[in-house]
Chain A
């Protein structure tokens, strides 16, 4: 049986439902020697800001049980250098290119998106309003409903391309934020960004990250992410891209069954940069074994 792997995220058609998550795959070129990039459902770039950001002081990474904390602080080359140095390669791969935007103000989001709108070869935007590791913007946007509304509304007015709002789980009721994004015309929400976490070195009694707290990712957060996707799926009609600790095809299928139309592989890329390709293959195998002719049919198919 031939399985149709195409999925739709609003007006965006993906070759398969497995993308690589922002901040876990650089700008695509870093992994070209090791990964069959054209087999990815899409690449979500490292977050881009208007100007380059140097990121946070070390230590930025600490491993925890079944996961890791990071405090990178949106280190990136800036949108202009991205357009000049990275976009030509991304365009050449033959997979969907989603550019992730992070900013310290609503105006900065708009300026970055406007610069990208002038370029060919970008298939959509993912808006990071949920980074826990920066002082300005980041979580303070993603946990504020009226700013979430404003950012979505302003960016919607600037582009007809797919607009994906990446939400933070660090709120009381994430479905309120998904609904706000949906009401303002976003095509999809990406769920979830990292959870705020902390680790302490008891020998030195110091926090293990320079910023004290960081963002928890990896398999440890998968059940939390699944619950958030489930909550949102019962609340809004727009597409959901599920993210959170996906290591295997089984993990990805769980996200689809609770309501995700597509998924992103994040932390797993650090361990095996081909994870997303393997996950996509595994989803097809599952569909074949279960006589499902289209992966779209998995979305929301949880029995309960």
Chain B
């Protein structure tokens, strides 16, 4: 009993109005002391608890005891649920951030991670955000972006899983790239297999190949490079003794030169790969 009795009556005592009033008022004006700290579980009975300032969880250092419970395990806030599935994924946490205004393209919801630096407490460390690239009814398209701190740029979108099945790299690091890291400039931007005709038999990001003369083929890119000097092309022929070079570099096209080893132009099947600063 957290709230003590204001008065304990004794046998034969004359009951006065003031005692009764005081006893009643004592309870009515001290409800928090009456119930807090709890001496047992408090069942909300399916009702809400509203207008909370903070919810402080004790450190249980153990899993929640049942499905649908939150518990603190050391530093971790654990939300635990249990169902009967065996080989499917349960969505355990939903971050929902809707709008009172009319939603427009790029509306999103994020999960922010904070830590602490030598100067910032808290430090905005990183974020994972889902974004609707298109909010058009029946044609919604979404992406998921990973945002990290990048020097003076602060929080910057690092990589985005895009709806078209791609992984967009939003940062191009200066200087030496770290080992075993994939960056935007290391991605193959174009490739193709071209018959002697020339006909494009297989490719990525190529609009067309066109005969530009004997031993000459113009390759036109689907998505262009920024300019004529920021990409590299390599190729091999279909047989020995075929030398292949490239010239007439432009943002949207490049020309293939096919020669034999006596420097005589001639049409041949070839395959190529291009990489640059798209």
| A-B interaction | no
